Chain A
């Protein structure tokens, strides 16, 4: 329990939030009042626990069985070309555990024998090359953290509040540390010709996912990655090899990467014409909308994580930007009338999820909670209304509009749209 001194300090520091009389901390639900004695000798105080390597590969506590990826069956025609969602409301910090990283496949998660896997570089190069996985691990390697966000994250919310939970509205994002070879080293090894301007990475799954990536981006910061969070990529994340394209839409991060063709113009593949193009109100479409703009979400409280206690609480959330580092996150509890700047906690890294906190007092009155990210380029996360004014309702992708949670009197929390 925090000392009363600390509570007093926080209460005082938060009174600027306004919105009526703050509840005294002591009037919140108290575990000491009328509770039966809780302290006793439990089984696990007396018996031996599991021996070492009971779980050679450790798994979460059975009490955390609810912390899982989930899908929304009605979203797609097949569960092989579909998506699952990261349980953001259960996570803290900025690293996503490998087993909880959302999935997006177009022909299911391929299972690849790594000794049979090859990466080919061909096209406008002096020497078309083939690499084995062992070859790739002999190149100089780098480690970097990066968020991966599906272009369609929050896409179901373009027309209004639809799915009730940040796992579903914002869970097509994850953030891990990748280890791999800077793509530029592989291109150097093959010798890129002077007229080369574009690359076409291609997957080894039966979707043969292919996209066009400008050469400048490849040379700047793309990585051919074989590890995530220190261990091999998970099959559903592209084992044994995937492309990392920091800050850019997840579709371009080709999984099960088997080939990179070098060319002088884009390919206009299915995933950059029929899909991942953004239809505007006037019937025109934007193509090559690669960057994921600054965005944020309050993960607690949220519909899957209601408020349980009056008095002192911690608001927790995530912010990120494909344009660089997060500079600041503002939070409102009154639907945007008044804002306070949250604390960024932990490392603030380039093109990476960033954790923010705001302690607050809850009186029990309804609240309308929003967060607003600002990145180092000065980009301000817009409201959904502002986005709709520019783009209309049918662009599907790149919805980075501000999310509103309505906390009701009983602490239940709902996804809403407000004026």
Chain B
């Protein structure tokens, strides 16, 4: 049953590869064992693929967050100093000062699980248990007014949650400015007057240059 699809997969690939590739495998490398794959294969997709079995509550998340996250991200996800703000900012994306948080900006909850599990806490990555990660995601939903304080998050109900800003992402429409086919660039007498509108020196935020 599997043989034919496999064969067609190879055909499609090699046709698309053009001339340089040989259909013969080189026999380099070795099989990745399932238990090896399991160690690294921790990514999670929006459809829930990759979610490990487990669960956590908002309450548990609050204590994990207080212990392991709040020193940078603030007790309520407001961010200390320049560290990232995790909560709030709803309704600011069209403003002069958009606050892009999980609640105001992120499109998918899976990203939060994936990122916390692989990269947080900063400097101590991959030290959280699966249940701690679920509880942190639940707590961050709570901080963003997207879950009640008695909420539980698990691999069972994870994909029921949608983040509000998912609908506002679009594919890249570039090029979004003129090309030569639309308009040859001007070469002579293109402007009458030129004024300086802003200067970097007036801000004075550039590191000193050694002389």
Q: What are 18 sample pairs from A and B whose C-beta atoms fall under 8 A apart?
A: A78-B122, A120-B40, A138-B28, A188-B21, A192-B9, A206-B119, A206-B126, A263-B45, A267-B44, A269-B43, A284-B168, A287-B171, A339-B187, A368-B196, A386-B177, A393-B96, A416-B197, A417-B197
Tell me the interface secondary structure of chain B in the complex. Answer: loop
Interface segment, one of B29-37, B61-69, B135-143, B150-158: B29-37
Minimum CB–CB distance for B178 against chain A, Å: 6
Say yes or no: B179 contacts A380, CB within 8 Å. yes
Q: Size class of A's contact patch?
A: 35 or more
Say yes or no: A274 contacts B106, CB within 8 Å. yes
Say yes or no: A286 contacts B194, CB within 8 Å. no
Minimum CB–CB distance for A218 against chain B, Å: 11
- Which residues of A lie under 8 Å from residue B100 when comparing CB positions? 274, 279
Is there a chain B Cβ closer than 8 Å to A394's Cβ? Answer: yes
- Contact bitstring A349-369, B, C-beta under 8 A = 1, else 0: 000000000000000000010
- With A and B bound together, what is the CA distance between A379 and B177 in angstroms? 8
Within 8 A of B (CB), among A385-402: 386-387, 390-391, 393-394, 398
Within 8 A of A (CB), among B29-57: 29-32, 36-37, 40-47, 49
- Which residues of A lie under 8 Å from residue B165 when comparing CB positions? 285
Say yes or no: B25 contacts A189, CB within 8 Å. yes
- With A and B bound together, what is the CA distance between A135 and B114 in angstroms? 30
Is there a chain B Cβ closer than 8 Å to A282's Cβ? Answer: yes
Is there a chain A Cβ closer than 8 Å to B74's Cβ? Answer: no
Say yes or no: A73 contacts B13, CB within 8 Å. no
Within 8 A of A (CB), among B104-127: 105-108, 110-111, 114-115, 118-119, 122-123, 125-126
Say yes or no: A128 contacts B26, CB within 8 Å. no
Is there a chain A Cβ closer than 8 Å to B1's Cβ? Answer: no
Known: A187-B13, A206-B119. A161 touches B125 (CB 8 A): no
Within 8 A of B (CB), among A160-202: 160-165, 168, 182, 184-185, 187-189, 191-194, 196, 200, 202
Q: Which of B16, B36, B114 contacts A219 (CB 8 A)?
A: B16
Say yes or no: B29 contacts A126, CB within 8 Å. no
Chain A to chain B: the 9 pairs with minimum beta-carbon distance, closest first: A335-B194, A378-B180, A208-B118, A77-B82, A415-B200, A128-B32, A417-B198, A270-B115, A206-B125
- With A and B bound together, what is the CA distance between A394 and B97 in angstroms? 8
- Which residues of A lie under 8 Å from residue B199 when comparing CB positions? 161, 406, 414-417
Known: A78-B122, A274-B106, A274-B111. A189 touches B28 (CB 8 A): yes
Is there a chain B Cβ closer than 8 Å to A6's Cβ? Answer: no
Minimum CB–CB distance for B127 against chain A, Å: 10
